[in-house]
Amino acid sequence: MKKENKRKIIMIGSVVGVLMIVGGGLGYQVWANSIQNKYTETQVKVADIVNDNRFSGVIKSQSREDVMASNALKIRELYVSKGEQIGTDTDLYESANGDVVTSTVAGEVADIYYEEDETVPAGAKIMTIADYSNLQVSIKVDEYQLSSLAVGAPVTINIDSIGRSVGGTVSEISREATNENGVAYFTAIVDFQGDAQIRIGMNAEVIVVKESAENTLTVPVDAIQFGADNETYVITKKDAKKTINQVVTTGVTDGANIQITEGLTEGQTILIPVLKDTTTTTFQRPKTGGGN
């Protein structure tokens, strides 16, 4: 009887031991699944971050002249031909009464609309001169973006239709806003050098860099959390079962990723909440003070 009791005790102990091991494993798995359901993992990366404003516009010539007939006249002789490059004060044509008309801008004779010995009515366009080398883009800038612009500031101009990017310079910013359909905006002019590929009338995107950081530590913006005292932190793993809130210092952001200047190292694993508390995790600092 004693041997049988001992066997029962041993068997019960074995079963309990197995159950404890299985239960512990299941418990860990449940915890791991819970963490996996609450967070997604990512690593701290080294990358470049650029915070910029982007504007759209249409390419135009900086200098353009439509040579008009102030009154009815007959062209005696044309001194230029279509496609010819000319400078300012170049003789363009002579009328039947001996008047010689000269150019006021330098550029290419883009088109001639009348031939020699033809009569031109008053107000008609005789020829067009356009500068295809010195180009510009006019952009609309709202008052909140105005601080990112300054006369003389360098910009990048993307021309998607030909897959080109060229450098330009802000040459002018209007002093007064224009109101269009209830929306106020300022006009800025960006100058740049053209070539045979870039044509007047093409759509262009002007990129103005506000701030940037090269080869810097970055994390997704969604990883940034805010504490009760408005400090910024990210969630990291302390060990296999615990997480900690690691306080960090942030820098430049492009809206998707953000620079980390203190608190993390390259390759470190951080956790991003799947379901975030919008009162503390949205990357906009909580408002302080104020009233209703």
Report the CATH number at residue 118. 2.40.50.100
Give pLDDT, residue 238. Answer: 78
Give pLDDT, residue 16. Answer: 44
Give pLDDT, residue 230. Answer: 86
Give pLDDT, residue 274. Answer: 85
| The last residue of a domain, from among 130, 152, 179 | 130
Among 124, 129, 118, 114, CA closest to 68: 124
| The last residue of a domain, from among 130, 146, 165 | 130
Give pLDDT, residue 228. Answer: 84
| CATH code assigned at 140 | 2.40.30.170
Query: What is the block-wise mean pLDDT of the chain (292 residues), using blocks of 10 residues?
Result: 53 48 48 63 94 94 95 96 96 96 95 96 96 96 91 96 96 94 93 94 95 94 90 86 90 93 93 66 44 40
Give pLDDT, residue 227. Answer: 87
Residue 232 lies in a domain: yes
| The last residue of a domain, from among 75, 101, 130 | 130
Give pLDDT, residue 181. Answer: 85
Give pLDDT, residue 289. Answer: 43
Residue carrying structure tokens 């079962």: 241
Give pLDDT, residue 281. Answer: 44
181 contact partners, CB below 8 Å, separation of at least 6: none
Count of other CB atoms within 10 angstroms of residue 146 = 16
Q: What are residue 22's phi and psi, to 5 degrees?
A: -60, -45
Whether residues 71 and 95 share a domain: the answer is yes
Residue 149 lies in a domain: yes
Whether residues 235 and 202 share a domain: the answer is no
Residue carrying structure tokens 């066997």: 7
Whether residues 154 and 204 share a domain: the answer is yes
Among 252, 247, 276, CA closest to 263: 247
Give pLDDT, residue 232. Answer: 94
Whether residues 152 and 183 share a domain: the answer is yes
Whether residues 178 and 222 share a domain: the answer is no
* Token couple for 192: 């740049």
0.75 surpassed by pTM: no
Q: Which helix (H) or strand (E) covers residue 6, if one does?
A: helix 2-38
Q: Which domain holds residue 249?
A: 38-50+213-273
- Residues 261 and 257: their CA atoms lie apart, in Å, by 13
Residue 227 lies in a domain: yes
178 contact partners, CB below 8 Å, separation of at least 6: 184, 185, 186, 187
| CATH code assigned at 262 | 2.40.420.20
Q: How many domains does the chain have?
A: 3
Whether residues 151 and 194 share a domain: the answer is yes
Tell me the Cα Rg of the chain.
35
Residue 27 lies in a domain: no
Whether residues 119 and 144 share a domain: the answer is no
Whether residues 91 and 118 share a domain: the answer is yes
